[in-house]
Amino acid sequence: MPITEANPNHNNRDIIYQPHPTQWLFHKSKARTKVLVCGRRWGKDRASIMEMIWTILWLLKNRNDPTLVPQVHAWYVAPTYNMGKQAYRELDEFTKRMGIQTYHNKHDFVIEILKNAIIEIKSADYPDRLKGTGLDVVVITEAALIKPDVWYESIRPTLASAGRLGKAIINSTPKGKNWLYDMFIAGQDPEMKKKGIIESFNFPTWFNPLIPPEEIEEMRRTMPPHKFDQEIAAKFTTDDLYVFSQYTYTHFNLVPAEPEPNAIYFAGVDWGRKYDYTAVAIIRWYPALDVYHVVDYLLLKDMEFADILQRTVDILAKWKPKSVTVEINAAQDIFYTEIQRRLKEMRLGIEVLPFRTTAKNRDSLFDVQILRFAEDKLFWIDAPEVKEQYRNVYWDGLKYKHTSGENGHDDIVVATGLALYGAEEQRSELKRRSSMDWYII
Ligand SMILES: Nc1ncnc2c1ncn2[C@@H]1O[C@H](COP(=O)(O)OP(=O)(O)O)[C@@H](O)[C@H]1O
Ligand SMILES: [Mg+2]
């Protein structure tokens, strides 16, 4: 006896939604919990939304239990309020296009279908609001970004209520080996599948035939390999991945250099505010080859603000980079305003670019270096303390981290990322301005 009768033969299906082949495999499954681990834009949410609507419509048609109020109750759970809003828009749009009568409460993100079924959009960052009712269907979107407690303590119990269907659709791109991975493994067990308890699916982005192959190739080229594997190929990356370790043996082979006239330099500064090092990296850019050499650096610890500032100004005055990208942590950052003031006074023509770190753009400081190392476009001085920091950096499936403890720092890695960031922002502009000069090096 099947648990649901998802109905892909709805009258308007050609107009509304034509599942692509691997989406179809997902819809066909009769498992009560379906785990959909796929690459970005494979169509996880589209498939989840449609499966939810079909299930609700089937229940409305086939259920007649006056004790249930509402007749059908469903949740769409997203990691954040914003991701939930997107689901709300899509649910709204698709129910409309299917000609289903709905009533909305935009304020609470509740959609009522035919006055008898309720879909509530929930954000997992308010776990208090995830308590309570018995549910017929739950979709959890981007589940890897949601804490395991949300599933195990808040949501799963709601799926075991008398008279309710209790069906779960859990979709996500993989992010390391977390609770989603456990669910995925459970869903691979043929026994579980046979009993209709849980089934999991794993497809890469390119199984969505609507995504042009060129787009996949572009992403393969522009993403660090471990990120492509995770986000597009939808692989669970194994253990923590020390992303720079291999390069410390092959790409840290330069000897310290002195400034050369007409050479182009860029700098990056990561301030050590409390216990960290202040790190400065100076990189030389060879335009014809598009290669970067880190030619000098500073790693300062346990110093007074004035001394840190002085040493930073000194190394910048020595190399006269086109720009120095400096990390800031507030609009009126004292380190930033001071370095800017000092460099202006000295009239060195060095542009100071502020970089306000967020979780997202911090990632890009590491990404850009992984790509340049992999292309043999970035080389470092053979400095043991620097290699040690690079060896500390790992990808945990969600973000870049560094090992903790006495030697656990990544300041020089961040400083180099800032220098590269500034360089990549400006190099096309520089190249255009005097395209002849580049062949002199
Ligand atoms: N079967 C389909 N038919 C038409 N468009 C689809 C289909 N599946 C996915 N899409 C489209 O592909 C894009 C990605 O879908 P989405 O569900 O947001 O992907 P994911 O949640 O996997 O990142 C969206 O623009 C969506 O409308
Ligand atoms: Mg999605």
Same domain, yes or no: 103 and 170: yes
The answer to whether the CB of 130 falls within 8 A of the CB of 147 is no
Within-domain flag for 6: no
Which residue out of 16, 42, 46 has the highest number of ligand 1 atoms within 8 Å of its CB and is therefore the one to mutate?
Answer: 46
Same domain, yes or no: 263 and 143: no
CATH code, domain carrying 295: 3.30.420.240
pLDDT at 238: 64
- Does the pLDDT at position 13 exceed 70? no
Same domain, yes or no: 130 and 220: yes
How many A from CA of 173 to the centre of ligand 2? Answer: 8
CATH code, domain carrying 165: 3.40.50.300
Per-residue pLDDT, averaged over 102-117, amounts to 85
Segment 248-261, tens digit of pLDDT: 999 999 998 999 99
Integer CA distances (angstroms), 170 to 5, 47, 137, 349, in order: 18, 11, 11, 54
- CA 148, 149, 150, 156 torsion-angle sign: positive
Segment 263-278, tens digit of pLDDT: 999 999 999 877 789 9
Domain end position, chosen among 206, 231, 256: 231
Arithmetic mean of pLDDT over the chain: 89
How many A from CA of 205 to the centre of ligand 1? Answer: 10
Segment 312-332, tens digit of pLDDT: 999 999 999 999 999 998 777
Q: Which domain holds residue 363?
A: 247-440
- Does the pLDDT at position 89 exceed 50? yes
At a CB cut-off of 8 Å and minimum separation 6, what does 270 contact? 276, 277, 278, 279, 280, 327, 411, 412, 414, 415, 418
Domain end position, chosen among 170, 202, 231: 231
How many A from CA of 42 to the centre of ligand 2? Answer: 8
- Say whether 269 sits in a helix, a strand or coil: strand
* Confidence label for 9 from pLDDT (cuts 50, 70 and 90): very low
Same domain, yes or no: 257 and 380: yes
Ligand 1 pocket, residues with Cβ under 6 angstroms: 17-20, 23, 38, 40-46, 208, 210
Separation between Cα atoms, residue 78 and residue 89, nearest integer Å? 13
Segment 362-416, tens digit of pLDDT: 999 999 999 999 999 999 999 999 999 999 999 988 889 998 877 789 999 999 9
Count of domains observed in the chain: 2
Segment 19-69, tens digit of pLDDT: 999 999 999 999 999 999 999 999 999 999 999 999 999 999 998 888 888
Which residue out of 12, 205, 210, 215 has the highest number of ligand 1 atoms within 8 Å of its CB and is therefore the one to mutate?
Answer: 210
Please identify, by atom number, the ligand 1 atom nearest to the C-alpha of residue 40.
23
Within-domain flag for 1: no
Which residue did the predictor score with more confidence, 133 or 208?
A: 208
How many A from CA of 175 to the centre of ligand 1? Answer: 20
Same domain, yes or no: 86 and 164: yes
How many A from CA of 45 to the centre of ligand 2? Answer: 5
Supply the residue whose CA is at minimum distance from atom 10 of ligand 1.
Answer: 43
DSSP state for residue 149 in the 8-state scheme: H
Same domain, yes or no: 186 and 111: yes
Domain end position, chosen among 231, 262, 295: 231
